[in-house]
Amino acid sequence: MSRTTMRTPNADWTDPDCPVARTLDLVGDRWSLLVVRDAMDGARSFTEFQRRTGMARNILTDRLKKLTAHGLLAQRTAPSGRRQEYVLTDAGCDLFPVILTLRQWGERHAFAPGETHSTLVDQHGTPVPDIAPTGDDGTLLDPNTTHVRKA
């Protein structure tokens, strides 16, 4: 599914003019983001997603269909040729900074100091640095230095 298809008017959008609301309509539930997270970490099969998330089969089936229908995952034949597997599309991969930001927020705010948690590392084993949005001039951006321009 192309990005053009994803932009098609939809009567079910929570807030049709807001990119945040539309994104949440597509992937804003816990299970969808966990499927995307696990796909980024190499999960491909229904069984793998279920094992990693502990999700009920009917919920996982629904989320995989939804993510595939909206062009975030694609189905293809597994290398064995016997089963179908799910892979991230370009649109799904574009969620990496979102997942990373959620992870980093969780590391700062969802764990007690010193509490053990997983760590995202690069190909050399170095922890991924914190994401910090900056303007063209390098100034750190936050809610006090930005505003929404309405359509």
38 belongs to a structural domain: yes
75 and 84 Cβ atoms separated by less than 8 Å? yes
100 belongs to a structural domain: yes
CATH, residue 40: 1.10.10.10
Measured between alpha carbons, how far is 101 from 106 in angstroms, rounded to an integer?
A: 8
Indicate the burial class of 25 (C-beta count within 10 angstroms; 0-12, 13-18, 19 or more). Answer: middle
Q: How many domains does the chain have?
A: 1
138 belongs to a structural domain: no
What are the residues facing 76 on neighbouring strands?
85
Percentage of the chain with pLDDT > 90? 85
137 belongs to a structural domain: no
Q: Is the pLDDT of residue 4 over 50?
A: no
pLDDT by residue (tens digit) across 99-125? Answer: 999 999 999 999 999 999 999 999 999
Closest CA to 87 of 71, 99, 63: 71
31, 44, 70, 77, 134 from 137: Cα distances, Å? 38, 41, 35, 47, 8
Q: pTM of the entire structure?
A: 0.86
124 belongs to a structural domain: no
Owning domain of residue 46:
3-109
Q: What is the pLDDT of residue 24?
A: 93
